[in-house]
Amino acid sequence: MAQIDQFADPAGPGTLVEGEGTVIERMRAFRHRWPPGNGVGVFHQAYLTTVGGTAGHGGPADRVAAGTLEARLAERYLAALDAAEAGGHPPECWRPLFPYRRHPGVRPVQFALAGLHAHVAHDLALAVVDVCRTRECEPAALEGEFERVGDLLALLEERIHDDSMPGPDLLRIADPLTHLVSSWSLERARGAAWSAARVLRQLRGLPSLAEELRQQTDAGAGLVVRFLLTPCR
């Protein structure tokens, strides 16, 4: 069975993403194409600020530049942006963000959390598989890196809440938004991604089943993204 692009290694087989310029600079370039007022840009700006704001200080950007799991994860996201910009087909979980990105009834925090869910529920599992394939190891060997990615994602979630969440006065009016935001769990999304990665790695000798699972994971993440983008005003 021919492996489709979404499941293929975005950096090319047998390679590691290296250098801050490969990841951080590409993200900075996309900032001009997906401005912060754009729904996709809301997530992109929060992501870029989180991974790029501490470069050279031993923070997240230094780990992204190391060509490890963090870099693979960022490459998965950038591949989705590349596909959308080229008029192609990004993973199903990312697709709702593009047509909805100017919807007046969807608040910035919804776009940001929708992007975060797509990134965790779909991209993270495939990034783990990417690294396992490159290093010829099992997911258990990446637990430390996976936990560091978890710390990075927690910082990203915190930034999203700080930058995009309406103030208390508005939240009393926007009860549906409060319900949506409080119903989503980063911890549960990460746990599901880890389980999916372990199963996908075990199915490497059964490409048809692996691709079926990838598609179902993508579709499930897309369903949650659509719920998160429910207009709340």
Task: Encode pLDDT of 35-72 as tens digits.
Answer: 666 788 889 989 998 887 644 444 554 555 445 798 89
Q: Which residues of 13-25 are buried (b: 16+ CB within 10 A; e: fewer)?
A: eeebbeebebbbe
Mean pLDDT for the stretch of residues 103-122: 91
Q: What is the pLDDT of residue 5?
A: 41
Distances in Å between the Cα of 74 and the Cα atoms of 9, 64, 161, 198 are: 12, 8, 21, 20
- Measured CA to CA, the distance from residue 61 to residue 52 in angstroms comes to 5
Q: Which residues of 46-64 are buried (b: 16+ CB within 10 A; e: fewer)?
A: bbbbbbbeeeeeebbbebb
173 band by pLDDT with thresholds 50, 70 and 90 = low
Burial class (CB in 10 A: 0-12, 13-18, 19+), 230: middle
CA-closest candidate to residue 70, choices 11, 153, 134? 153
Q: Other C-beta atoms within 10 Å of 146: how many? A: 19
Q: What is the pLDDT of residue 33?
A: 76
| 8 A C-beta contact, residue 20 and residue 55 | yes
Q: Other C-beta atoms within 10 Å of 115: how many? A: 27
Going 214 to 118 to 194 to 126, the CA torsion angle's sign is positive
Q: Specify the higher pLDDT residue, 182 or 107.
A: 107
Distances in Å between the Cα of 177 and the Cα atoms of 28, 170, 173, 187, 190 are: 30, 10, 9, 20, 22
Q: Specify the higher pLDDT residue, 181 or 26.
A: 26
Helix (H) or strand (E) holding 86: none
pLDDT, averaged across the chain: 82
Q: Specify the higher pLDDT residue, 161 or 64.
A: 161
Burial class (CB in 10 A: 0-12, 13-18, 19+), 108: buried
